[in-house]
Structure 1
Amino acid sequence: MNYPVHIVAVGGLIENEEGKILMMRNPDRGWEIPGGQVEPGETLTDALKREVKEETGIDIQVGELRAVHSNIAKRLQPDGVSPIGSIVSFGFTGKAVSGELTTSDESLEVKWVHRENILDIINEEFMKDKVDIC
């Protein structure tokens, strides 16, 4: 399989009417904000809307761009051989507008979490850094 040399990704700190933040539990990384890879020909905001809907069932309105992260660590693709390319990730805020919480292959669990508690449930340091900035 040919993997991209550079990956563009998006993530969203999505808030509901009560001020809670949308969180999902990824099978590999644990709790994190929804998001993922931008597909060819897709805008950053369209990618975020698609990823949030696919992973959580929630339709969103994208807010402000709040963070840009890069990851150039040497890691391997799921095949265990091919290197992961450098990743540039754009972090946005957003508001939930409709939909019902739904899980997917990428989200074992989905829930709304009080803003002050989100850092407590995240295991991965890189994700804590992303969330803390937004």
Structure 2
Amino acid sequence: MRQFPTHIVAVYGVVENDQGEILLLKSRNRNVWMFPGGQVELGENLIDALVREAKEESSMDIAVHQLFSVASNTCTYPGYNGFGQIPPKVLIGFTCRYVGGEFRESDETTECQWVPKAEVLEHLTVPDLIEKYKTYLNFTGKVEYMEYVTKPQFEVKLQHMV
């Protein structure tokens, strides 16, 4: 029997407030700053998934606006916590606006901060998040597609405007 390819589909949002600051969340497990987002659940659409993830991770409400990035992490690697091989990921990035709510710590996050747009790169340490934020900064209405791998080391394989 033939198998369909398996990919993880995930979303993330670069959330901006009325002062032009960007929301960063501190990951509990990895102790790094990140954008709200996560895996899309079965039967869930991309926008609902991003709104849910932001609420779960920060207790904040966001509005999803424009698609600005589609990325593929095409590597696979051994699983953890009982999972087998981790498949490639497709990650979809949206511009977002802060709507309301106060940050509350979650199972996934320990802190939040609003950072001026020009200073965000000083806080990011994960290579793919750095590249995704650069895509956000350069967004002019065309969506960027990026292929990269994270194992054995981070490497951008392809960047293309679509």
TM (norm. structure 1) is 0.91
* C-alpha separation in 1, matches of 2:15 and 2:93: 11
- Taking only the aligned residue pairs, the percentage that are identical comes to 41
Counterparts of residues 1-134 of structure 1 (less than 5 Å): 5-26=6-27, 27-28=29-30, 30-79=32-81, 82-134=84-136
Q: 1:113 to 1:25 in 2, by over 3 A?
A: same
Unaligned runs of 5+ in 1: none
* Secondary structure of the structure 1 residue equivalent to 2:109: coil
Q: 1:76 to 1:118 in 2, by over 3 A?
A: farther
Q: How many residues align?
A: 131
CA contact 1:29–1:123 (8 Å) conserved in 2: no
* Secondary structure of the structure 2 residue equivalent to 1:68: strand
Larger of the two Rg values belongs to structure: 2
Aligned-pair distance for 1:77? 2.6
CA contact 1:25–1:108 (8 Å) conserved in 2: yes
* Secondary structure of the structure 2 residue equivalent to 1:108: strand
